[in-house]
Structure 1
């Protein structure tokens, strides 16, 4: 049960209220985010339950499956979630980002504590709402590429679709909503079953009518505007541990007791979905986060205000400032934010300012 159970039983009241906002206002790499966290009331009940009869409570809600597992039971989980339209890919047996998001969304819809982890209570409820998966549901025809993939072949797919004007963004290598829509458009145009997933038939047809992408088509140059000259830190950033985020310089500075430990480029939400200014604190960290609202990845997410978080964005890394989030603070240096994620702890302050 380990970390998943501890996470469920050590939450504050502010985290509980943040869950609803998180589900409704998430943002993504192409404009992303949201998943969830158990309520304070339920976590208090679990805390109170430890000791005495708590052993029975714990046994009833043991962890059956969690992120990183790879088993036949996970494959069945995915097939059952697919029956309820919570799972957007094909069953693989691996419990990754997409499965975590699907489980979180099922828990939310079922009125459970939202954790993204399959406890016995989650599994029992899911069994009661679904049928035993068929062999075809468990082992569908093998796809070449599909939602959630991240590879050079996906980048090539995007470049080839771009040659036919079905993909209008710069290739990123990530198979998300934009790529799915582009594949559907291509399949419809060619009279192939429009699944949004690339099977051999789709790939063979696409390869036959496109040229091998050039290096420039695969990795187009980015137009990145000059950042404003450095400015002094906001005075709120000069004491304690602070993620100091300037909208003027498009930078995030990790500051400890007035000393800048790290500075990275960031981008913010669009005009319709702005990143909120103010003083906040990190209330939840989710290393392998996946937005249930936008079905998009949010690695190294550090939530500070409802669904708004600091997180790595592959779209930002690929397209620079030719895009925006849905309110989150995007970071494009993956190595830097991976290290920052390990350094920051829940309760550290976040200051967003002009």
Structure 2
């Protein structure tokens, strides 16, 4: 296992007075072991203990590297997984369970009296993952470089009459050409009034003159995600659309300017939201300002008015204000940032200038 990351998780377990823990989230197990596997209905669990008695539970059908740095406990289909777990856990102590551990394994473990009591302990891993180490930061940069290159190539491929689905397919093709491993999420492409619909799924809507073109895309590289949104216009842009675009850009850049260790997430959100509200569009900014990102596109923690936590160096999250006018238009501008010692590094270099495509 990655010893530094393991020590971070064990440190949070100690802080929360959790002597032992079961981790079943595949991305959390990957974070600690470098081994990523999605087990479907079979049990896949990493047991951590304050005593160092760590073990990983694996089905014989899994293809597993020889050295994971942790003792392997194998089981085959038909074996009682809960009994195997209960043979390892300390029945006289509290047991932390992550939020993804299926009830079909947890309830039998409880019947075996696998611990004195149980608690949800995901935050011990979530807190550790929230601050990216140098290796993770470089992987985030690499994924964002591919995303930037994709977005940079898109304007010349956009033409009047094409559909949202066609443009989404072009994004996927570009990712393959640029060396991405996959997507963080399905490309979100929205033309005209569709851009005002939250998380609109691409359909056969055809692009026409005067439409806004909202493009929210993300790829993966070496198991780490990227995410970026830009909004363009076709052939013309109205004064109303220009006003909205400039407001969203101001909100995006103002929020990024206040990021530094010690600032509260809610205050970053407020910085962007106040700009949009002052112009009369408060009801049209319908979502939080951002979300944390890393191995998963949406990780624990967000940039919202409800989050009073202070940001720390190494955290990575999105800044994505938007204004959405139903039946008319929608604009969102999104970057990813990594918090530095005295500010932030903006991972996306793609221009935020208002672009009207010919």
Q: What TM-score do the two structures reach when normalised by structure 2? A: 0.29
The structure richer in strand per residue is: 2
Structure of higher RCO (CA pairs closer than 8 Å, 6+ residues apart): 1
Q: Give TM-score, length-normalised by structure 1.
A: 0.29
Bigger Rg, which one: 2
